[in-house]
Amino acid sequence: MDSIGQGTHSATPTWRRRLAGLGYKWSLVLITSFSVCAAVLLSYLLFVYFDVPENRILTGLFVATIVAIIVAPAASHVFIALLVELEASRLALARMATHDGLTDIFNRRYFDTCFAAESLRTVRVRQPMSVLMVDADEFKKINDRYGHATGDRVLQGIAAACAATLRPYDVLARYGGEEFVALLPSTTLEQACEIAERVRAAVESLTILSATDQPIPVTVSLGVGTLQPDDDANPETILLQADKALYEAKRSGRNRWCC
């Protein structure tokens, strides 16, 4: 589903990615080794072409090797350093395009891309697809009482608890503010409800301390939406379904899930 990441990845030539992936040290060794081999081969061909006496060829090849060993690292130092830095910057930018800066989970843009792709697959293969809307309870009160820095830590804790609870192929994203969303491919309503309960329990068990080492109670409310295999509805409707279920969970007391 990582269409954004794949697009950025494929835009970079393969040789550049592989060379940068070796790191500075091994890239330098590789380029130096290649330079030595090329220098020896070209020198030998030139010696043969110009009919250099055989007793001088070994000396000439030795000199070519020494020169390549000295010149290649010096000449390629700046190139390799720039290439490694450029690749690191490319990867950082690619991650910024798909991830939320605070919680380090996927952002809404990436989720929307995955949701569109999974919706098409769900309709094609006639399998269920579910969505969880997750919202931090009383988050404004936490911000007002403990400060925004603590509020940020609460969001990070919720994101980490959700990510640890969900399956490897689920897609978790920050949907906006204190709201998160999880895409659950090939998941029935019953399975989604079980996952919602696990997420709720995982967040409730979080231990987050304030600046004065006070434990902060953290809970979430969740809404579950599911597209059944025999539904003819627009997949977008499950987002509305999950959002309405989330509102019902909030209205009926928080720290619970509804579907």
First to last CA, the chain: 26
What are the φ/ψ torsions at residue 114 (nearest 5 degrees)? -65, -40
Per residue of the chain (259 residues), give pLDDT as tens.
Answer: 433 334 444 455 677 677 777 777 888 888 888 888 998 999 889 888 888 888 788 888 888 889 888 888 887 887 777 777 877 777 778 888 899 999 999 999 999 999 999 988 888 888 899 999 999 999 999 999 999 999 999 999 999 999 999 999 999 999 989 999 999 999 999 999 999 999 999 999 999 998 888 899 999 999 999 988 776 667 788 999 999 999 999 999 999 999 9
State which residues form the domain around 70.
Answer: 3-98
Q: Both 116 and 179 in a single domain?
A: yes
3-state DSSP of 81-114: HHHHHHHHHHHHHHHHHHECCCCCCECHHHHHHH
Chosen domain end from 80, 98, 116:
98
Are 91 and 208 part of one and the same domain? no
* Residue 166: Cβ within 10 Å count: 19
Same domain? For 94 and 142 the reply is no
For residues 218 and 253, membership in a common domain is answered with yes
Catalytic residue ranges: 178
CATH code of residue 166 = 3.30.70.270
Q: Kindly state whether residues 88 and 119 are assigned to the same domain.
A: no
- What is the Cα–Cα distance from 63 to 42, expressed in whole angstroms? 13
Q: Are 136 and 177 in contact (CB under 8 A)?
A: no
Cα 171 to Cα 97, 110, 174, 181, 206, distances in angstroms: 15, 9, 10, 8, 21
Same-domain pairing of 21 and 62: yes
Please state whether beta strands 179-185 and 208-209 pair in parallel, antiparallel, or not at all (unpaired). unpaired
Global pTM exceeds 0.85: no
- Per-residue burial over 113-150, b = 16 or more CB atoms within 10 Å of its CB, e = otherwise: bbbeebbeebbeeebbbbbbbbbbbebeebbeebeeeb
Last residue of a domain, one of 98, 120, 144: 98
The answer on 159 and 64 residing in a single domain is no
Q: Are residues 121 and 247 in the same domain?
A: yes
What domain count does the chain have?
2
